Structures are given as structure tokens and as C-alpha cells.
Structure 1
Amino acid sequence: MSSQQTFRAGQTQGHAEAKADEWIQSTKNTAQSAHDKAVDAAHSTKESTQQGQEQASGFIHQTSEQVMNMAHDAMDSVKSTLGVGEHSHKK
């Protein structure tokens, strides 16, 4: 092999190594970007879930209060109809 062929072989090897390094770095960058996006999506999902739970909890609390008030009103109505309770003791 002549010195020029050896030089070209070395040059080709150098270019191949440089290209491989570029691909490796590009792959690392892509992996890091995907990781960052996954972390952001996880945080967003967690926040959305917490907001949904808070809204559901508030809705359930409000609904239970309304049901309790309706039951109390119905009980008062039945007592009034039957003449039982506070109203019947007052004369």
C-alpha cells in the first residue's frame, strides 16, 4: 500500500469516526429531548388529575349538602303534616 493510499484510508477512517460521533451526539440530544418532553407531560398529567380531583371533591361536597338540606326539608314537611315536632308544642 502506498503512502497516499494509507493517507486516504486514514482520512476516510477519520471522517467515519467524526460522522459516528455526530450521530451519537444527535442520538443523545434526541433522547434528552424525548426525556424532557415525557417529564413535562407527566407533570401536566399530574396537575390535571389534581385539579379534576379537587373539582370532583367540591362537587360531591356541594351535592351532599343539597341532599341533606332536601332531606331535612322533607322531614320538616312530614312533621308539619302530622302535627309532630316543634310546631305542635306551641299553642
Structure 2
Amino acid sequence: MSSAQSNAPSGQSPAQSRGQAQAKTEEWVQSAQHTANRACDKMADSKEEAQRGKEQSAGFLQQTGEQVMNMAHGAIDGMKNTLGVNNNEKNSNDKK
């Protein structure tokens, strides 16, 4: 009995064993490619999601900045009114 025949499962020729091994290897390669493709798709989705989050954050910060600025202007106007140095009131009083 040759060594190639002794390594083959019982009842199979070496050619059959090689064919099954090759088929199994191709199956593993396809599975690995499929897994890699899914991973790439998930990374692309994550990148797009991160970009959307970044854009939403920028919009939120823009709105918040505008609100803070408006509140500061309102506080300044209130202080000017309290102290009697509001330019708008002086101009409207001068016209009367």
C-alpha cells in the first residue's frame, strides 16, 4: 500500500481526497471573501453614519451659538436700558 493511499479516508482514492480538499478550500475562501465584503460594507456604513452625525453636531452647535449670542445681546440691551444708556431710546426720545 502506498503512503498516499494510506492517508486517504477509507474507500476514497487520493484523487477524490484532493478534490474534496480543494472543494473545502474554495468554500473557505468564498466564506472569507464574503466576510471581508460584509466588513467593508459595515465600515462604509459607519463612515456615512459618522459623517451624518458630524453634520448634525455642526448644525446643533451653530444653532446653540446663535442662541447664546442672541441672549448676550438681550442681556446687554437690558443693562443699557437699566443704566439709561440705550442708544435706541435716546434717538427715539430726541425725535419726540
Fold conserved between structures, TM > 0.5: yes
The list of structure 1 runs, each at least 4 consecutive aligned residues, that deviate by more than 6 angstroms after superposition, is none
RMSD of the alignment, in Å? 1.6
Note the 1:45-64 alignment, pairs <5 A. 45-64=46-65
Q: Which has the higher helix share?
A: 1
1:20 corresponds to 2:40: no
Q: What's the counterpart of residue 88 of structure 1?
A: 90
CA–CA distance in 2 between the matches of 1:73 and 1:85?
A: 12
| Bigger Cα displacement from structure 2, 23-32 vs 80-89 | 80-89
Q: What's the counterpart of residue 8 of structure 1?
A: none
CA–CA distance in 2 between the matches of 1:71 and 1:17?
A: 80
Give the C-alpha shift of residue 81 in structure 1.
1.0
> Percent identity among equivalent residues?
40
Give the C-alpha shift of residue 85 in structure 1.
2.8
Q: What TM-score does the superposition give when structure 2 sets the normalisation length?
A: 0.80
CA–CA distance in 2 between the matches of 1:72 and 1:85?
A: 12
Q: What's the counterpart of residue 66 of structure 1?
A: 67
CA–CA distance in 1 between the matches of 2:31 and 2:81?
A: 74
1:77 partner letter: G
Give the C-alpha shift of residue 84 in structure 1.
0.4
Segments of 5+ residues of structure 2 without an aligned counterpart are 6-11
Note the 1:4-43 alignment, pairs <5 A. 12-43=13-44
2:90 partner letter: S
Segments of 5+ residues of structure 1 without an aligned counterpart are 6-10
Residue 13 of structure 2: SS of its match in structure 1?
helix
